[in-house]
Structure 1
Amino acid sequence: LVLGRHVFVGTSGLASSPAGIAWLAHYLAPFGYTVESVRLRPDILHLDCALGLVREGLLVACPDAFLDGIPERLRAWDRIEVSLAETARLATNGLPVDPDTYVTDPEFAHIGEQLKRRGITVEYVDFSVSRSFGGSFRCSTQPLRRTVDPDPAT
């Protein structure tokens, strides 16, 4: 997950490895990026399965998925919490289109309602079939740039 020039990489033993994180940090350092490893429970595949950055200052997360808690840099953010069971169904894997628009599955309407109370327009698309194969909106979009950027000039 990219936040400005800070990159969070989840590690649970299922996907990203310490060697891969070290390589990424070395590769991105000349461009002014820092990389932070985020330890996850061993049954969580990727960080976006446990954490979604909606917009600056707002996230959707499953606190129980993190071995060391939500990353320090994000702890003061407003948070919509989900359960481990919802994490398994990819509740945190919505798609922020812009700071005011978010796409999620109708199964997560309770998350959408909490986002609406925070001024976000929520669009619903039934993604249950895709989610059954292990991917949701964020996984399926493959954007060229994916960031919640406090400084749009970067």
Structure 2
Amino acid sequence: MVDLNIKDETSRLKAVVLGTATLSGPAPTPEEAYDPKSLEHILAGTYPKEADLIRQMEGFAAVLAKHDVRVFRPEIIKDCNQIFSRDIAFVIDDKLVEANILPDRDREFEAIIHVIDHLEDSQILVPPEVVHVEGGDVMPWGEYLFVGTYTGADYSDYITARTNGAAVEFLQEAFPKRKVKAFELRKSNTNPRKNALHLDCCFQPVGRDMAILHRESFLDQADYHWLRDFFGAENVFEITTEEVYHMFSNIFSISPEVVVSDRSFTRLNDWMRSRGITVEEIEYQEVGKQGGLLRCSTLPLARE
């Protein structure tokens, strides 16, 4: 049993659901791809092998255990990709919001029922059908809820558009003590260098007052400038389009002082260390071929 408590992105982690790659099945067809990076690797014949995905996820699990984090895993569904647990639900304060995800991913939420079946009904929020929202687009931070959105008239044309304007209204109503701040993200179904699948693919807070940020992922440059000013330019690590492609912003905080990052992110990791952060480096680029990385693989349940 876990008492839900998520106030922000970086407080000391106590409990988390980490996805699983076990029995995730064969590579999907191009028509089955959820995002342009997966599509790129399917077409190139470089889509990751299950054994490599399992090995890299177990490396992540080992780091979490090293830091005394209680780690839960989904029940395994054969031939189902269950790596990205952030997509299926997210916690804000003491409430768990069930994401309105792509219809053929409903089974993934059912696979974590054993983790949350002790919760009161009032703690589980199920958005109405008109609300589209995924956890990668939602970040509690201080008095704010940062939310990545796409509200263009062509929303339905983008399989990469996962959180809509109705979600912003829903979250503001569900969490009236928070200020919901929405950011319009750039979307592409076919070009992974021009697509911000979620907010955490182009922005993430680190430590107590710092952030990783990519300018071109924001459709409205006023949104980028707002975040840069909010954290202060001296506290922002600006990443390039190529670094976005490799998912530099999708690291994961165990605490303000400890971050899990991919070992290939040399420039970022050096910067974090220069700011007093302990960087736990692991290999995670095979997972990254599917359009998500470390934050995407986790559903934090409780932080101190």
> How do residues 34-113 of structure 1 correspond to structure 2 at under 5 angstroms?
34-42=179-187, 43-66=195-218, 67-68=220-221, 69-70=223-224, 72=226, 74-77=228-231, 78-113=235-270
Q: Secondary structure of 1:130's partner?
A: helix
Q: Secondary structure of 1:107's partner?
A: coil
Change (3 A) 1:106 1:73: closer
Q: Pick 1 or 2: higher relative contact order, CA cutoff 8 A, min separation 6.
A: 2
The number of aligned residues is: 145
Q: Deviations over 1:114-141 (max 9, x none)?
A: 1111111111010111111122111112
CA contact (8 A) 1:60 1:80 kept: yes
- The Cα of 1:20 is off from its aligned counterpart by 1.4
Q: Which runs of 5 or more structure 1 residues have no equivalent in the other structure?
A: 147-151
Q: Distance in 1 between matches of 2:183 and 2:284?
A: 27
CA contact (8 A) 2:196 2:217 kept: yes
Q: Distance in 1 between matches of 2:228 and 2:142?
A: 13
- The Cα of 1:71 is off from its aligned counterpart by 5.8
Q: Which runs of 5 or more structure 2 residues have no equivalent in the other structure?
A: 1-138, 156-160, 188-194
- The Cα of 1:40 is off from its aligned counterpart by 1.6
In the alignment, structure 1 residue 125 sits paired with structure 2 residue 272? no
User: Among residues 21, 33, 51, which one is paired with 2:168 in the alignment?
Assistant: 21
CA contact (8 A) 1:38 1:71 kept: no
**What residue in structure 2 maps to residue 149 of structure 1?**
none
Q: Deviations over 1:40-93 (max 9, x none)?
A: 222211100000110221111112212234262552420111112211221100
Letter in 1 for 2:295: R
* Aligned-pair identity (%): 27
